Amino acid sequence: MGPRTKEWRFMLNRLKKSPLSVAGISIIVFYAALAMLAPVLAPPNPSWALYRTYDPFHIPRESMSPIPEAPNANHPFGTTEGQYDLYYGIMWGTVTAFRVGLWVVAASLVIGLCIGIAAGYYGGVIDELMMRFTDVIFAFPGLILAMALVAALGPSLDNVMLALVLVGWPGYTRLIRGEVLRVKQEDYVEASKAAGASDLRVILRHIIPNAIYPVVIAASLDTGAIVLSAAGLSFLGLGAGPDYADWGQLIARSQNWIFGTKTAPFAHWHTFVLPGIFIFIFVLGWNLLGDAFRDILDPTLRRR
């Protein structure tokens, strides 16, 4: 049995010993299945295809009534204020959640890796300039800065994602820089330099593979937090439009009905409980998945 096979077996054994990690992976797989099957589980109205502006993320509505409907045969999850179908919004909102979380984390990770590796590997003036600029971004509260950027750029989901990227990359920059400073002192890196390897080869062959693990763990933990932040901005009216399939937007439409009416208290519980549950479990799944990556990849937890 080769060393790579042994490593894979060890990683699977570590994963099996952590039931919560398995639960996290199962949750994310379940949500991924919902996102991929959204066109089947909540098919768009075929008549919409006649319009050039057709967008499956626009939630269908049957009337303009402000009073939400309770779950029924036509609307399994009921409707929101304005008669937007809650089931359709939640199913396609899963696609939106993956789009926001993965896109923002991937873009932030690429920027953070480029700046952090350059600062940590070359040091000197490059390190000072890049890290002082990073400190400037860190000086502002992340969510407040994101709100300001979206307000300046204009409310939209794309601008929310852009703003979250602009405030999210410094965390990865600091983390990868610290790992690069540690790894570049190792003997195998010095030996590679002495053998005449170029800086690019050293970075790609030795630095990144041995410094990337803490960043991967942080990225998996951040994905859920990013989706939660985007939902919060949509709730405040800075994100997706009123008819867009977004969990934060759905909860925003429930704020007038949290306590129901005088004659029927909590009669419209479905308007905030159902999308709230989907957000909660989605974020929980990513947090548990981060724990799974830590169990597998963290060198301090490795076998002796």
CATH topology (fold) of 22-41+77-301: MetI-like fold (1.10.3720)
Share of the chain above pLDDT 90, in %: 29
- Tell me the C-alpha to C-alpha distance, in Å, between residue 228 and each of 108, 168, 233: 16, 14, 9
Q: For residue 14, count other CB atoms closer than 10 A to its CB.
A: 18
Is 27 in contact with 292 (CB distance < 8 Å)? no
Is 70 in contact with 10 (CB distance < 8 Å)? no
d(CA 101, CA 106): 8
276's CB contacts (< 8 A; 6+ apart) are 251
Confidence of residue 32 (pLDDT cuts 50, 70, 90): very high
- Among 59-63, 107-111, 268-272, 298-302, the range scoring the smallest mean pLDDT is 298-302
Q: What pLDDT, on the 0 to 100 scale, is given for residue 299?
A: 56
Q: Is the pLDDT of residue 230 over 70?
A: yes
Q: Which two tokens stand for residue 77?
A: 């999850």
Instruction: Look up the pTM and report it.
Output: 0.86
Where helices occur in 123-212 by DSSP H, the ranges are: 124-138, 142-153, 157-183, 187-194, 199-202, 208-211
